Chain A
């Protein structure tokens, strides 16, 4: 991997002059477009732009409306939108020392691997109101902006509010709760945690157990007990479709997908007990040309009212707990960081997965094929 990246980086370096030339033209154009606002008297209008890269689609549209536009209105700093986020492009950029991006929205896997590979600027705590976001949703290099979770999803046609699988042990109990299950097959994350909890391990001991070979074997053995009754999903839309079509009675689904399916009329509900939360982080790519502006934008993204606005728009959970007072009750019960929901689950252990992914992935693939 590193070898090809180095080669690409070298190619980029050789094109450095033309890139500079290109950027120069871009800056001149940006300056020209800013001139009218300078004349209209805004004191901040000369600020250098911040380039923000995220995942595109409805998510980034909402981020623009709820975070970037208010930031520009307050500080006069224009925000350039780029996307979708691409991890190999990110690496190539940072390793070539020419990051065009100033703020990036990344997954927890990328955050922890990136810290190891020195891909981020360390956050300057003095430039951020870090107290807005609880400790478990931030690190020295990234602040969480949204939280999502793996949940027990169940069909409301098969089960009721009173009588449905209320724990992962119930999901693995084919007698008490009959029907086909669904689990994610795209990677070992979540599946191993879920099987371990089904074996009776309490939430705070899951990773301790999974760090041992016996724990891994016990999880796989547990998975084998329901293997014949599982339809696996590789993409989130598949998981949504399986519930919509009534192909499965319960299983793993992301809260946002269950919300979306329910909005579209599917007979689906989620149980919050033993949910596994995952965080998307905001980071500053190493070599960013506007670290100052990047801190400003990240700080704006932690403001409660902005996060509440985003949650109301697309139902992603805020990391700032103060946001909940402004979120519609119909939406907030679907959100992973709602105090009631967060208390019933735990945050995925990103360092565990950074260190164990390779080994568990192989065993997982083997198990699937056997």
Chain B
């Protein structure tokens, strides 16, 4: 059926997208990447600087740690939520999808500013905790690493939940039922049967979250302290503040390669271990 709809040489259908990507993505990106080895002169001096100066290694370390911790918490919070969605009644499922999607439709910047209002010292959360008598003086929830984690986990959570959910709804319930009839207690049943079957969802959700987190900019800039700088902020600083396109290019290469490598690892793990089904 579909084959008859397919025109000969359908390549032209992707032409608008291809031109757009080429002109406004591939060209400037290649230019920036080329700057990393040609600015201010030809050579590897920018990469040498990245390696020699501790500041860049620290920022790189920050980026990996923040992305990793964010991914971990997204999985911890997202897994039970996705489980409830996949196994609950249609009403519960609809309500949960709605709750998760609403913030998803709101701009990232607006959500980040909302967190500032909630988390600051004179903010809603500290006011509540203090009036409830749980704390005596305001807790520092923002302008530090904790603020970055809270903001990023909230923003990236849907990227964990939806891949997880799509895998969980396809898990055949008869496996768990079979294990139960054979005498497996619920906890064992979950770890031996359900968790391995849902693992592809965890991995694809984690890879989406981790890779998105690597390039995060607004959230750490607004909710973090000076020690929480991530690589995207560093790239922006190099260009807008110091006009150092070469170093910015080198940082971009590192980010691109890092993202590519994580993607490759995840694909490999997913493809081999969990038997990723390619439709």
The reply on A81 being an interface residue by CB < 8 A is no
- Could you say which of A1, A3, A232 contacts B225, with CB atoms under 8 Å apart? A232
B246 to chain A, nearest CB (A): 10
| Cβ of B204 under 8 Å from chain A | no
User: Could you tell me if A370 and B40 are in contact, using CB atoms closer than 8 angstroms?
Assistant: no
> Which residues of B lie under 8 Å from residue A199 when comparing CB positions?
none
Nearest Cβ distance between residue A252 and chain B, in whole angstroms? 14
Scan B208-248; emit 1 where CB is below 8 A from any A CB, else 0.
00000000000001000111010000000000010111000
Quick check: A185 and B226 within 8 Å, CB to CB?
yes
A247 CA to B138 CA, complexed, in Å: 10
Please give the distance in Å from A316's CB to the nearest CB on chain B: 24
A242 to B194, CA, bound (A): 49
Count contacts between A and B, CB distance < 8 Å: 43
Chain A residues positioned under 8 Å from B54 (CB to CB): 366
A241-298: which residues lie under 8 A (CB-CB) from chain B? Answer: 245-247
Answer yes or no: A365 CB below 8 A from chain B CBs.
yes
Could you mark each residue 225-239 of chain A with 1 if its beta carbon is under 8 Å from any beta carbon of chain B, else 0? Answer: 000000110100000
How does the 8 Å CB contact mask read for A75-107 relative to B, with 1 for contact and 0 for none?
Answer: 000000000000010000000000000000000
Q: A3-B39, A4-B245, A88-B243 are in contact. Are A366 and B55 (CB under 8 A)?
A: yes
B166 at the interface (CB under 8 A from A): no
| Structural contact, A231 and B40, CB atoms closer than 8 A | no
Indicate whether A349 reaches chain B with its CB closer than 8 angstroms: no
Give the distance to chain A from B175, nearest Cβ to Cβ, in Å.
49
Contact A1 B243 (CB under 8 A): yes
Tell me, yes or no, whether B125 is within 8 Å of chain A by CB.
Answer: no
Residues B110-156 near A (CB distance < 8 A): 120-122, 143
Instruction: Give chain B's interface secondary structure class.
Output: loop
Residues in B with CB closer than 8 Å to A232 are 143, 225-226
Q: Which residue of A lies closest to B62 (CB)?
A: A369
User: Do A247 and B121 touch across chains, with their CB atoms under 8 A apart?
Assistant: yes
Q: Does B58 contact A (CB under 8 A)?
A: yes
> When the two chains form their complex, are residues B243 and A247 in contact, meaning their CB atoms are under 8 A apart?
no
Asked if B53 lies at the interface with its beta carbon under 8 angstroms from chain A, I say yes
Cα(A4)–Cα(B243), bound, Å: 11
Q: How far is the CA of A180 from the CA of B59 in the complex (A)?
A: 25
Q: Are B121 and A369 in contact (CB under 8 A)?
A: no
Among residues of B, the one whose C-beta sits closest to the C-beta of A358 is: B242
A3 with B40: in contact, given A246-B121, A366-B55 (CB under 8 Å)? yes
The complex places the Cα of A88 from the Cα of B241 at a distance, in Å, of 12
Interface string of A1-34 (1 = CB under 8 A from B): 1111000000000000000000000000000000
Q: Which residues of A contact B221 (CB under 8 A)?
A: 234
A residues less than 8 Å from B241 (CB atoms):
186-187
B40 lies within 8 A of A369 (CB): no
Tell me whether B122 and A362 are in contact (CB under 8 A).
no
Within 8 A of A (CB), among B15-72: 39-40, 53-55, 58-59, 62
Q: Is A344 an interface residue (CB 8 A)?
A: no
CB contact under 8 A between A369 and B58, given known A4-B245, A185-B226, A232-B225: yes
Q: Could you say which residues of chain B place their CB within 8 Å of the CB of A186? A: 241
Establish whether residues B226 and A369, one from each chain, have CB atoms under 8 Å apart when the complex forms.
yes
- Shortest A334–chain B CB gap in Å is 25
- The CA of A245 and the CA of B120, in the complex, are separated in Å by 9
| Binary contact track A333-370/B, C-beta < 8 Å → 1, others 0 | 00000000000000000000000000000100110111
Judging by beta carbons under 8 Å apart, are B55 and A1 in contact? no
Report A31 CB to chain B, min CB distance, Å.
Answer: 39
Q: B229 — which chain A residues lie within 8 A by C-beta?
A: 368-369
Task: Give the distance to chain B from A238, nearest Cβ to Cβ, in Å.
Answer: 9
Tell me the complex Cα distance, A203–B39, Å. 40
A366 vs B229: C-alpha distance in the bound complex, in angstroms? 11
Contact A369 B245 (CB under 8 A): no
Q: Evaluate contact between A231 and B243: CB separation under 8 angstroms.
A: no
Q: Give every chain B residue within 8 A of A362 (Cβ-Cβ).
A: 53, 55
Residues of A within 8 Å of B244, CB to CB, are 1
Question: Is the Cβ of B121 less than 8 Å from the Cβ of A365?
Answer: no
- Whether A369 contacts B143 by the Cβ 8 Å rule is no
B227 touches A368 (CB 8 A): yes
Check B55 against A245 for contact (C-beta < 8 Å): no
Closest to A186 in B: B241
CB distance from A95 to the nearest CB of B (A): 14
**A370-B227 in contact given A247-B120, A247-B122 (Cβ < 8 Å):** yes
- Contact in complex: A369, B227 (CB < 8 Å): yes
Report Cα–Cα, A260/B227, bound state, in Å: 30
Q: Are B121 and A368 in contact (CB under 8 A)?
A: no
Choose one: A1, A185, A245; the contact of B40 (CB below 8 Å). Answer: A1
Chain B contacts to A: CB under 8 angstroms: 39-40, 53-55, 58-59, 62, 120-122, 143, 221, 225-227, 229, 241, 243-245
Q: Would you give 28 A-B contacts (Cβ < 8 Å), ordered by A? A: A1-B243, A1-B244, A2-B40, A3-B39, A88-B243, A185-B226, A186-B241, A231-B143, A231-B225, A232-B143, A232-B226, A234-B221, A245-B122, A246-B121, A246-B122, A247-B120, A247-B121, A247-B122, A362-B53, A365-B55, A366-B54, A366-B55, A368-B226, A369-B59, A369-B62, A369-B226, A369-B227, A370-B227
5 further A-B contacts with Cβ under 8 Å, apart from A88-B243, A247-B120, A368-B226, are: A180-B121, A186-B241, A246-B121, A246-B122, A247-B122
CB-CB nearest 7 A-B residue pairs? A368-B226, A369-B58, A246-B122, A231-B143, A232-B226, A366-B55, A1-B243
